Amino acid sequence: MLMLVLVLGLNLVISFLNARNVGHVWAESKAVGGWIRLLAWCGAIQSAAGFTFVYAVVVGYIAVSTGYLPTAMLGV
């Protein structure tokens, strides 16, 4: 359980840093276009996926603990 919390925390930090850095270069990448624009989109998608993973695990644990999902659905 401690390892899961540490991995989720690391994933949250990496997703936050991705979102912050993409936000810093978004306007410039839109003006320049090309490869930098593609990389900005990739960073935004990675950030969204990382945040979604953390939220999904938290909601999954809440659903299992309240009885909405069986324990086998969580995969632990």
68: which DSSP letter? S
* 63-75: pLDDT as tens digits: 999 989 888 877 7
* 4-51: pLDDT as tens digits: 899 999 999 999 999 999 999 999 999 998 999 999 999 999 999 999
pTM of the model: 0.80
C-alpha 48/C-alpha 62 separation (Å) is 21
57 vs 21, 33, 34, 37, CA distance in Å? 25, 35, 35, 31
